[in-house]
A and B are shown apart, each in its own frame.
Chain A
Amino acid sequence: AQSVTQLGSHVSVSEGALVLLRCNYSSSVPPYLFWYVQYPNQGLQLLLKYTSAATLVKGINGFEAEFKKSETSFHLTKPSAHMSDAAEYFCAGNFGNEKLTFGTGTRLTIIP
């Protein structure tokens, strides 16, 4: 069965520090992978997506993610955290069907 796992339900980083949010997937078919961000009481906003083209994907707000098939990973990074990055981040996969399968989310806190 296909699944998405996010390691770390809470991550805290200092303002200006590197942000690293981890996502691993399990799939028997080539996946399409997504990172979404959710601010309090709002819907999900797409940060970036991987669709089998370039393995390093650049998204909005300075975020990027690298698809590593050998590690079944799609970790999200940002070189320098900003206070406005504080939110919940969801990794999601599309595994050859219509629906998205989400991880449980990582809440990112930025320390001033």
Chain B
Amino acid sequence: DTGVSQDPRHKITKRGQNVTFRCDPISEHNRLYWYRQTLGQGPEFLTYFQNEAQLEKSRLLSDRFSAERPKGSFSTLEIQRTEQGDSAMYLCASSFSFQETQYFGPGTRLLVL
């Protein structure tokens, strides 16, 4: 068990560019979550998957955001036409079952210039 991994750890991009982040959950976990954390705040829920199905999306997830988990294993989060307000830490977590502990990855820190 190597824990949740995320790639890249840091991303700097110019406004208007597209970015994609990857999350690899703990292998036996069927639930995968994405959160966003801005400076000085706690993480905020964005979306979650049960296996390959995306079952809930927050209102924070605008049309520019899309997430996938094609085979129920790793997940990608894409942001199109990035804005400066998208600058944040994007955290991925996974869990074994409903209301079980969510284990977090190291996060991807995005800076939009």
Chain A positions within 8 Å of B, measured between CB atoms, are: 4, 9, 32, 34, 36, 41-46, 49, 51, 90, 92, 94, 97-105
Sample of 7 further A-B pairs with CB below 8 A, known A43-B106, A105-B40: A42-B107, A43-B105, A43-B107, A99-B45, A100-B43, A100-B45, A102-B44
Chain B positions within 8 Å of A, measured between CB atoms, are: 4, 6, 31, 33, 35, 40-45, 48, 55-56, 58, 91, 93, 98-99, 101-107, 109
* CA–CA, A32 and B109, complex, Å: 28
Q: By the criterion CB–CB under 8 Å, are A43 and B101 in contact?
A: no
Q: By the criterion CB–CB under 8 Å, are B109 and A41 in contact?
A: yes
B58 closest partner in A (C-beta): A99
* CA–CA, A44 and B91, complex, Å: 9
The verdict on A104 contacting B40 (CB below 8 Å), with A43-B4, A44-B104, A49-B101 known, is: yes
Can you identify 22 A-B contacts, CB atoms within 8 angstroms? A9-B40, A32-B99, A34-B101, A36-B104, A41-B106, A41-B107, A42-B106, A42-B107, A43-B107, A44-B43, A44-B93, A44-B104, A45-B104, A51-B99, A97-B56, A98-B55, A99-B45, A99-B48, A99-B58, A100-B33, A102-B44, A104-B42
